[in-house]
Amino acid sequence: MILVLVVLAGLLFVLLQRGQGNESVDEQHVDEVVASYEISAENALKRIQSNDTVVLLDVRTQAEFDVAHLENAILVPVQELSQESLTAASLGEDKKDQEIIIYCRSGARSKMAYDIMEGLGYTNIKSLAGGMIHWEEDEHPVILQNE
């Protein structure tokens, strides 16, 4: 019994030693594995920078959008999302295959918007993993209200 306790204590010591020293490797946000319907903040930024036809769809409220949003984003709050509101925002039937990145504050509303848009026949859409929270943690550019 004592031998088992000594072995377990030694194993615990080794595991704790391995974990030390990794805390300061990278303090910046690191995206976890993203779901198939998502795109990481880093990959979204790359897509935006390399492709000027990518549409950014903000599905937060007008008040949230007014505080900070991504440059050239189109606002359609998720509670107003329909084919009619998308058409009014220049994202109608002719844009169903357009590359669209949907974002909100944390990713929950953009997932809802993704589901709605997928149901409407949009084929090239992604939800920003972690939303504006991850985007800002990664220090990617935003448009602030006073700019």
Q: Are 83 and 106 in contact (CB under 8 A)?
A: no
Please give the domain boundaries of the chain with CATH numbers for all domains.
Answer: 33-144 (3.40.250.10)
Q: What is the pLDDT of residue 6?
A: 41
Q: Global pTM?
A: 0.77
Query: C-alpha distances in angstroms, 10 versus 5, 16, 21, 81?
Result: 8, 10, 19, 57
- The residues near 34 (Cβ < 8 Å, ≥ 6 apart) are 40, 129
pLDDT in tens, 16-67: 444 444 333 234 445 467 899 999 999 999 999 998 899 999 999 999 999 9
